[in-house]
Structure 1
């Protein structure tokens, strides 16, 4: 960043976006005081407390997770220690920790991130700075964090690629890139619109300058009468236009070429698959046949076995039981949650060539260098060492290496982690047109809604199917919860009608009496039918057509049960009124 002037006011809610390597994390470190600018000054209101969460927080290995959360930030003057400890333990529990005395040294990197997040939230602060806080948390926790941030009353500045969070939690967007910080005083959707308009205006100005440059260049070449004042002014304008064209920002954009290889009829199937470690079974009796155009999402809590399942399907881990069959033409591209370690002294181009020297695309054969350019590694950058790349750039290089192998089945484990929004949008467009099957584990709600056509949720070690993306899953869960709540609510709990009525003899009609005599048996029968349908769905999980039919029947049956329950509650209330009337 160079020559940046910004003002951040109390209560501002700012989402920070930009390409990988543009300086977003550096920007937060500067604001937090962890890093000093080379030039210029950052002024902070005296006495203001700042809570800062980096992408890779440092915790003391010998501390318990409760102590690590409490010690993450210094206590404020006058703070009640017991209140902070209670808040820390509450947040740790909400973030999925059962043993609050577990040592930090036993945690994974993602778990340490969650402990630090609890530390950043458990004490009151005037400013909260978060760097990619939704990395390494599951979908429920992402929703919990969004709700928590919406209630935060201080100044909030967050680097994130979570598009739902960007839209719902922030009223200003800072775009870091090209040495600048562009400010948009609007929501994320408004930012997208304003940026598109600005880019169109810049492109139109550039086209106009290029047209003027060609015209003036032709005049210069014909031999300008340099002695006249008018001619000298025109030559000066020509020089200014030439400089404007030279200074115009590069139009480099990330593009992903389709590189999938031929895929036969038999792809991937598994029967009665159980996965886990030793005697710890994470998923039981999962059967499914993967189809050519499947877009399958897998969701579940942290530790539920999602990554273990993907690694088992890839052949990295043996199943506890069951059979996995793979077609002869299948090439699996596995995009792991954590990039495998690359030799930091390896050059970027060599890392790509180690996979393939060239690859076939619809545009013809492309060399490793040409493919690297499409992934925003220009030729002058390709001879840099891997160690010079940011975390997001290394993730992008890892994705390039996977696609260079021309896979026809993609298995993606948290593919949105550490990728910038521009790369995410291009990746999603690429997956839309990918000629093969996709299995994806992700905590990115927008990504699941955009890419997947059906989901499996890990529930009590079983894979429960849902048609549609993540929002469809939420709708199904909400409908299930409402149905359960209605069934548990006693009839007497319904509010009584207090309006004044004319005293007439209250009684059932013939149809109401008949319904009242049979309604309890009908509700019980519908509940039994729903339970049977759930068993059939689980048993036929590998038959997508059958599951679709069963889930349609399940939806209709649930609707009938809701109507019958409502009818039963009405008749029960009326029966009580009749009994009261009889005195």
Structure 2
């Protein structure tokens, strides 16, 4: 049974129906990816399901008392001042206690009685684990300064803040619109584990294929107002979608041919409808609808020409850059060669964007020199998005660069023809840029970069907000691209497919050169960490007897509270196991027996964990 569903849902956007009489349902434990080309209404559907937007027609049916968490593409923090105001909900007692506890322990001299009272309340509510969970989430998403004004945060920081709040609140249904945007790869891998733990109900719009494969069990595609279901991973979706598309194209072609013949009949017959066959007229309009189905050309076409490249491309000689007392890049040297395909990797804030600003000359190095070859034509797809005026038409954005574009062997085409290849039909070409969806603006921005015919292509998070179809075509184009490719992305699939070398930024100024893609680097890194862990474990075992004679570690007030509560918890769990074990002798129904056995296993695992923690704290005491 669905815990969240729609009934005859219809919604329009700028006088165009996105979908009509749509049915969409989620059952408890479903983890679903929603995909589709830009402008089909994915984000709109998510807003309606989350209750943020009211549909033009139809209703949303939700299970009584269900809590829905919604992460929009661009969070709105109107009427909120600081991070602390947003994170800790006024109506959540546990969160307010944790907020007060954190405030007190930060003070140089705090009221011990007040701290003890709050600690007792947190223990009574079993909130210590919740407090640890909140800290883990905030640390992972790089949120630390609670007094910081939200208005002073960047777009990426605000997106991470909104995600942190949603994860802290633990809703019954997670509705996430591009959750991996502005996250580094390590954080994405952590988010994957969090969303797949427990029996969470999740609906995600994302371009990240590895993320979808790791989190989702089903893919649903929104296309031309309909939803198509695909069980399994992304590769299965691509295969089944191709089969369905071929079938739809064949049906639509057949309908178009028949419709043309029927159109002649409609034109020949008298205008008075009563003298015509009513059933044939109705069949004509049915054919008309079917003839609007997909064609073989309904996809973005990338055939751009790369400028000729000379022997000297770009030379970076001992470049360093610092901000205040923080070193971002230290003494970095590299000479780009023809055919280089380099990925930039590292956590957010480690220096990747600074590096791009240096090589594109929008930032000067403190030391060193960057020399660019005379024939090098840089095309820079920036993460920030497309710059446009509110009253600017789509075609004007293109004509600002050039009215005619050299396509190499395919000759010269007009700006309008190029827009059509990028799936901007005439009615959109003469519409306002402000009315395009976020993904359509990204596609337009990509087109503006490529029409310059660059031979040194820099792509900073190109997968953000682009639909899967456009991404697949972009990948094919980049695989054939003859120039230098410099790629910054958190999309591990893109890094693996398009790069064979990495610049790894560690955040302290050092940039490591690595020959191989991200999968190779990750494998080597994991193996090295395992080896280091084994060495530390052996060292710890060898040193353990000597350490017992040394001074004991100091236990904190919070850990003392935890130690006392563990004794009570362990006794309670042991009593529950004893009671359930007795029931096993009395129950005959095999289903009930199985349930009791599962409960005993769960309690034993919990007992082991709490006993291990009790021993750990007892050693400190």
- TM-score, scaled to structure 1: 0.77
Secondary structure (helix, strand or coil) at the match of 2:495 reads helix
CA contact (8 A) 2:342 2:501 kept: yes
Q: Is the 8 A contact 2:88 2:96 kept in 1?
A: no
**Map of 1:133-152 to 2, 5 A cutoff?**
133-152=179-198
Q: 1:319: which partner in 2?
A: 365
Specify which of 43, 66, 88 is matched with residue 25 of structure 1: 43
Equivalent residue in structure 2 for 1:75, among 92, 95, 99: 92
How far residue 258 of structure 1 moved from its aligned partner, in angstroms, is: 2.0
How many Å separate the matches in 1 of 2:279 and 2:58? 39
For 1:521, the equivalent position in structure 2 comes to none
Instruction: Label 1:471 to 1:273 Cα distance change in 2 as closer, same or farther (>3 A).
Output: same
Match of 2:376 in 1: 330
* Matching of residues 265-344 of structure 1 within 5 Å: 265-344=311-390
Asked if 1:15 is matched to 2:33, the reply is yes
Inter-partner Cα distance in structure 1 for 2:49 and 2:263 = 51
Residue 187, structure 1, aligned to residue 237, structure 2: no
Instruction: Return the alpha-carbon distance in structure 1 between the equivalents of residues 91 and 72 of structure 2.
Output: 16
Residues 78 and 381 of structure 1, relative CA distance in 2, 3 Å threshold: closer
Q: Which residue of 2 aligns with 1:96?
A: 142
Equivalent residue for 1:257?
303
Aligned ranges 1:57-206 → 2 under 5 Å: 57-59=75-77, 63-71=81-89, 75=92, 83=127, 85-206=131-252
- Whole-angstrom distance in 2 between the partners of 1:91 and 1:378: 44
- Higher mean displacement: 15-24 or 481-490: 481-490
The secondary structure found in structure 2 opposite 1:380 is helix
Which residue of 2 is the match for residue 247 of structure 1? Answer: 292
Helix, strand or coil at the partner of 1:337: coil
Match of 1:439 among 469, 486, 489: 486
Among 506, 520, 538, the alignment partner of 1:490 is 538
**Structure 1 residue 182, shift from structure 2 partner:** 2.3
2: CA distance, partners of 1:125 / 1:446: 29
In 1, the alpha carbon distance for the partners of 2:464 and 2:346 equals 17
1:235-259 deviation digits (Å, cap 9, x = unpaired): 7799478536533235421111122
The 5 A counterparts of 1:512-523 are none
**Equivalent residues of 2:256, 2:291 under 8 A apart:** no
Are the equivalent residues in 2 in contact too, given 1:259–1:359 (CA < 8 A)? no
Q: 1:29 to 1:236 in 2, by over 3 A?
A: closer
Equivalents in 1 of 2:265, 2:58: separation in Å?
Answer: 43
Distance 1:279 1:249, change over 3 A: same
2:516 corresponds, among 464, 468, 476, to 468
Give distance in 2, aligned partners of 1:243 and 1:24. Answer: 26
Q: Deviations over 1:62-92 (max 9, x none)?
A: 6443442223x96389997563554333211
Alpha-carbon offset, residue 418 of structure 1? 1.3
In 2, the alpha carbon distance for the partners of 1:337 and 1:107 equals: 16
Conserved in 2, the CA contact under 8 Å of 1:209 and 1:241? no
Alpha-carbon deviation of 1:425?
Answer: 0.9
Q: Is the CA contact 1:89–1:100 (under 8 Å) kept in the aligned structure 2? A: no
Pair 1:376–1:330, CA change in 2 (3 A): same
Structure 2: 5+ residue runs without aligned partners? 1-18, 99-121, 270-275, 543-621
- Residue 291 of structure 1: CA displacement? 1.2
- CA distance in 2 between counterparts of 1:410 and 1:238 reads 52
- The 3 A distance-change label for structure 1 pair 152 and 342 is farther
**2:450 paired residue number:** 403
Provide the rounded CA distance (Å) in 2 between the counterparts of 1:235 and 1:353: 47
Distance 1:380 1:330 in 2: 36
Native 8 Å contact 1:132 1:160 kept in 2: yes
C-alpha distance 211-237 of structure 1, shift in aligned 2 (>3 A): farther
Provide the secondary structure at the position in 1 that maps to 2:428: coil
Q: Does 1:37 align with 2:55?
A: yes
Number of positions where the alignment pairs a residue of Structure 1 with one of Structure 2: 485
Aligned partners of 1:468 and 1:76: how far apart in 2?
50
Question: Which of the numbers 437, 441, 446 marks the counterpart of 1:390?
Answer: 437
Preserved CA contact (<8 Å) 1:70 1:88: no
Shift of 1:484: 2.0
Which deviates more from structure 2 when the two are superposed, residues 96-105 or residues 178-187?
96-105
Runs of 4+ in structure 1 over 6 Å off: 76-80, 211-214, 216-221, 231-238
Distance 2:177 2:488 in 1: 22
| Structure 2 length-normalised TM | 0.73
Contact 2:218 2:232 in 1 (8 A): yes
User: Is residue 448 from structure 1 mapped to residue 466 from structure 2 by the alignment?
Assistant: no
- Structure 1 pair 25–210 and aligned structure 2 pair: CA distance change class (3 A): closer
Describe the shift of the 1:154–1:279 C-alpha distance in structure 2 as closer, same or farther (beyond 3 A). closer
Structure 1 residue runs without a partner (length 5+): 225-230, 495-583
- Correspondence 1:206-221 to 2 at 5 A: 206-209=252-255
Q: Which piece of structure 1 moves more, 95-104 or 326-335?
A: 95-104
SS at match of 2:430: coil
How many angstroms does 1:440 deviate by? 1.1
Within the candidate set 47, 54, 58, 2:72 is matched to 54
Determine helix, strand or coil for the equivalent of 2:531: helix
CA distance in structure 2 between the aligned counterparts of 1:102 and 1:342, rounded to whole angstroms: 30
Residue aligning to 1:478:
526
Displacement of 1:213: 6.8
1:419 to 435, 442, 466: 466
Q: Is residue 17–residue 421 contact of structure 1 (8 Å, CA) maintained in 2? A: yes
